[in-house]
Structure 1
Amino acid sequence: VCAAAVVLGIILERCRPSTLVIRICPPAAGSLCRTRHPPPRPPAPKPSDGRTDASSVEGSSDRLSRTSSYTRRENRLASLNKADDDSASKDYKKLYEDALTENEKLKSRLEDSKQELAKIRSQLDKVTQRQDRISERSSLVESEKKEKQALEKRVSDMEAEVKVR
Structure 2
Amino acid sequence: MYTEALQENEKLKSRLQDSKQELVRIRSQLEKVTQRQDRISERSTVLDTERREKQALEKRVSDMEEEIKVLTELKSDNQRLKDENGALIRVISKLSK
Q: One fold, TM greater than 0.5?
A: yes
Aligned position for 1:149 = 55
1:127 aligns with 2:20: no
How many aligned residue pairs are there?
Answer: 71
**TM-score, normalised via structure 1 length:** 0.42
Q: Cα offset for 1:144?
A: 0.2
Greater strand content? 1
1:116 aligns with 2:22: yes
Question: Looking at both structures, which has the greater relative contact order when contacts are Cα pairs under 8 Å and sequence separation is at least 6?
Answer: 1
CA RMSD of aligned residues (A): 0.6
Amino acid in structure 1 at the alignment position of 2:33: V
Work out the CA distance in 2 between the residues paired with 1:97 and 1:129: 48
Aligned position for 1:162 = 68
Amino acid in structure 2 at the alignment position of 1:111: Q
| Correspondence for 2:6 among 100, 113, 134 | 100
Amino acid in structure 1 at the alignment position of 2:40: I
Amino acid in structure 2 at the alignment position of 1:147: E
**TM-score, normalised via structure 2 length:** 0.71
Work out the CA distance in 1 between the residues paired with 2:59 and 2:2: 84
Work out the CA distance in 2 between the residues paired with 1:106 and 1:113: 10
Q: Cα offset for 1:97?
A: 1.3
Work out the CA distance in 2 between the residues paired with 1:136 and 1:101: 52
Q: Cα offset for 1:150?
A: 0.3
1:136 aligns with 2:32: no
Gaps of 5+ in 2: 72-97
Following TM superposition, where does structure 1 have runs of at least 4 consecutive aligned residues deviating by more than 4 angstroms?
A: none
Residues 24-52 of structure 1, C-alpha deviations (whole Å, 9 max, x = no match): xxxxxxxxxxxxxxxxxxxxxxxxxxxxx
Work out the CA distance in 1 between the residues paired with 2:23 and 2:31: 12
Work out the CA distance in 1 between the residues paired with 2:4 and 2:66: 91
Aligned position for 1:34 = none
Amino acid in structure 1 at the alignment position of 2:70: V
Identity %: 75
Residues 135-159 of structure 1, C-alpha deviations (whole Å, 9 max, x = no match): 1100000000010000000000001
Structure number with greater Rg is 1
Work out the CA distance in 1 between the residues paired with 2:69 and 2:33: 53
